[in-house]
A and B are shown apart, each in its own frame.
Chain A
């Protein structure tokens, strides 16, 4: 009886080990899907009638003070920097212009098809922070992950709708090339080696998007005439939406304002 029990016991361990060996490494590739936009075989945009939406994103009120990051335990991080690292949740320019806001067309561009850009978007790990802090790219567009630091990082996006992955990148390693199969705004990215490192990747299903700089400005070009829902997304504040209609060759200005007291303050 004891022999039988031992056999069963080892069988259970073996099964679990087999299950483990099959996990993680070779997940099937995702199929690209972006419902409601970038329809294959859809219309192409006529540049002769295309218009433009421009604007500025501002923060009303006193912006929260960004905190210094303590990297003292990581000499490779501090050596790579000329100034102390600061958190980047709220970065403002003059007059409350708000940076790191993804402004994008949420709806209205359905029925058009857009070629996937062939130029990759780059995210660099430098001084143990991500550069840029917020980036946007299209579904299927390549993301190049670069490590300019003399220390090891792991890059770990935590998506809701895309496949999660986690890869290490030692100093001097070749760039990691990735792409995302589904539209998602925005995917948090973290480094578990250096937990203060945070970035966001917005994956869009059309080319009408821009991430604001310190001047808070955006400019969405080559839009066919129509009515669009425009969204401004910021990591700390609730997204803001506006409807805008543009006619042939028309340029419209749309401004967004977030309130500093509304969140996180």
Chain B
């Protein structure tokens, strides 16, 4: 049953996801403007809560303030889920989100205090995207749509979309790690380029399979369209960001074109991950598991009942 409180919780989760998206933009602006170390101390900024707002400090401090707001929103979300959710796994998902945001704050602090070691900075960048997808998932799980719908479609194709969407999501996540490692000088560009080829192939495979196998399923067709649009845009942005990085190196930094393209490319990466997570969730919700799996599950349940 969908109560007024459930609706409010869902709206709150959507708002938290939107705030997290803004935080991702702020974080990407910090990295693209090379402003991550413009405030050399943490958790305070220049020993106070009100640092001089000049140059790169503006980006870094704004990022910290938005991060604090998202942290508080996540505390509220976890508490609300814990108090009102009847599904135990949702309560734990709320706590996982809280753990994610706390870990993210610690990684942010470490990256400042340890002077941006590439593994820590890349972990900070990657966890941000994972956290965003987690909050998006919570927003979906708390929606009326999720509660009202159940398996309605049969997947007769191969490979099964339940597996394919998970593999695609995992590949996008790996690609985000490679991108973050490149951005934070851990790796060169080659692994990220190889990752782009793999992700493009998997996204096209998933989107085509969704369109072909479920022409009547509007949410799944919407996912396919979103995946197609995002991957196309992301490839163009990636190429543009790389070109501007090479061309802009001769200019005094920050080079505005490079900043813009890399920020949008990074944020689109987060949207890409969220889109694959949403696609996988919708497939798991709407598409029946294989007959074999269902039978195995039924037998296991029967055994437990016996």
Contact = CB atoms under 8 A, between A and B. Distances in A.
B115 A24 contact: yes
Interface string A18-42: 0110011100000000000000000
Nearest to B259: A195
Contacts of B158: none
Best-buried of A151, A190, A192 by chain B (most CB within 10 Å): A192
A194 B109 contact: no
A193 B54 contact: yes
Interface in A96-130: none
B54 A152 contact: yes
Interface residues of B, number: 31
B46 A152 contact: yes
Contacts of B159: none
Nearest to A6: B95
Interface in B19-70: 33-41, 46, 52, 54-57
B254 interface: yes
Contact of A156 (B37, B251, B254): B37
A195 B37 contact: no
B52 A20 contact: no
Interface residues of A, number: 37
Contacts of B148: none
Contacts of A151: 52, 54-55
A17 B250 contact: no
A137 B28 CA distance: 37
A197 to B, nearest CB: 9
Interface stretch (B98-106, B127-135, B168-176, B291-299): B98-106
Interface stretch (A49-57, A69-77, A221-229, A237-245): A69-77
Contacts of B114: 23-24
A25 B47 CA distance: 13
A170 B33 CA distance: 20
Contacts of B35: 192-193, 195
B164 interface: no
Given A9-B99, A167-B40, A193-B38, A69 B54 contact: no
A91 to B, nearest CB: 14
B213 interface: no
A193 B99 CA distance: 31
A264 interface: yes
A154 B116 CA distance: 15
Contact of B33 (A152, A154, A165, A195): A195
Interface of A: 9, 13, 16-17, 19-20, 23-25, 64, 67-70, 73-74, 76, 85, 87, 151-152, 154, 156, 164-168, 170, 190-196, 264
10 contacts: A67-B252, A87-B251, A87-B252, A151-B54, A151-B55, A152-B46, A152-B55, A154-B37, A193-B54, A193-B57
